[in-house]
Structure 1
Amino acid sequence: MATIYTAELNPSKREFVTAWLDNQFWGGSGEIELIGTYRFDDTSGEVGLEGFVMRREERILHLPVTYRGAPIDGADDYLISQTHHSVLGDRWVYDAMADPVGIHMLNQALAGEIQQAEYHFYNEDGQYLGSEDSAITLYIRGELPENWGTVSVHHVLDHLDEDGGELRRLVGRWEDASATFFELTPEPEPQTAPIPMMDE
């Protein structure tokens, strides 16, 4: 369950997402149109992951971020923003692919161990306002590999509604489109060196 407060963020999500995209080679330029978001929450409740799916120019872009109550040591290059939440206080926003807890959540999701979080809204006084379905629905495709491997992200969603092959992946669906958001690259099989033959 994702607990979402109708609170103020300074800078806002639109501001820090736009600033980060402006500095990425794949991020394009111009105004952003938000298609939708999805969320995962870690079991300790300390770190949240939110993925943004956006139109910018002629591209559809995907940016997963994590929210933390304290900075990650040694991860300054992946800090998207430090923002102030009017209920939760100071929050540190990171590129989710550089956050070990974010990667752990994505591994859990690819394994089918956790589902995307439901959205439950509260006002700043803690009063429950209701729930809402995400505009993005995630589902798993592909087979589980024997050698688990590495999670990679698709930032530019060029290949909409394509099958994507046999790789284990998280696919997002919205409106009348879908695309692979994350995929698992299996570890290569270990190579066994041939036994050298001795001359007689």
Structure 2
Amino acid sequence: MSGTAEIHQATLTPGKLELLAAWLPAQEWFVGDSDDVERVASYRFVDPEGEVGIETILVRSRGVTYQVPLTYRGAPLDEAEDYLVGTLEHSVLGTRYVYDAVGDPVYMVELLRVIHEGDTEADLSRGEKSMTVLGSGIVPVSNAASEAMRVVRVLDGNHVPGSRVPLGTLDGRWTDADGTVQEQTLAVLR
């Protein structure tokens, strides 16, 4: 297990979905409509240093589910302007800088660790959980310097890179609002 993520009882301004609805239309992989973005599920990892919040939110628009990994920081991340989703006010923690996590080294290191070790998502301090994830584990002789990570953004089963056997994967499972259980590959390590 990736630890326990502390979840505060807080008010967020703007809300996470509002922030994403403003950011998603500018992403080349998003073909939905910002007016109908809805939350499907989410999972968290824990920053070992306890400084960065790491949450991945699955959202749906026009019937397509998208994976949006985010990091939450108390100060701007150097040289990451291109990955800034926006800022929000957290009633407990103050101003939070929200980043597309693929541009945040804390997320990428934790994602790599979860896949390498065959670990899972973090437990949540408030207990609620809407999905589970599991790293596949990899052969110990793998050389991290030569590994490439691909986060799957469009979760329709057709966007998982498949030209060669991966070193490892992160797979997720959640239940849609209609009761359908979904299982998808969320990240691929090559």
Matches within 5 A, 1:93-104: 93-104=98-109
Matching residue's letter, 2:124: Y
Aligned-pair CA distance for 1:113: 6.8
Say whether residues 1:180 and 2:185 are aligned partners.
yes
What corresponds to 1:71 in structure 2? Answer: 76
Matches within 5 A, 1:1-200: 1-27=4-30, 28-29=32-33, 30-112=35-117, 114-121=119-126, 131-132=127-128, 134-141=129-136, 143-144=138-139, 146-148=142-144, 149-159=147-157, 166-167=165-166, 168-175=168-175, 176-185=181-190
Residues in 2 aligned to 1:43 and 1:116: alpha-carbon distance in whole angstroms: 13
What corresponds to 1:125 in structure 2? Answer: none
Check conservation: 1:142, 1:166, Cα contact below 8 A. no
Check conservation: 2:115, 2:137, Cα contact below 8 A. no
Structure 2 residues without counterparts, runs of 5 or longer: 176-180
Aligned-pair CA distance for 1:146: 2.4
Residues in 1 aligned to 2:10 and 2:133: alpha-carbon distance in whole angstroms: 26
Aligned-pair CA distance for 1:147: 3.1
TM-score of the two chains, using structure 2 as the length reference: 0.84
Structure 1 residues without counterparts, runs of 5 or longer: 122-130, 186-200
Matching residue's letter, 2:143: N
Aligned-pair CA distance for 1:142: 6.7
Matching residue's letter, 1:25: E
TM-score of the two chains, using structure 1 as the length reference: 0.80
Identity among equivalent pairs (%): 38
Check conservation: 2:89, 2:96, Cα contact below 8 A. yes
Please report the RMSD computed on the Cα atoms of aligned residues, expressed in angstroms: 1.9
4+ runs deviating over 4 angstroms: none
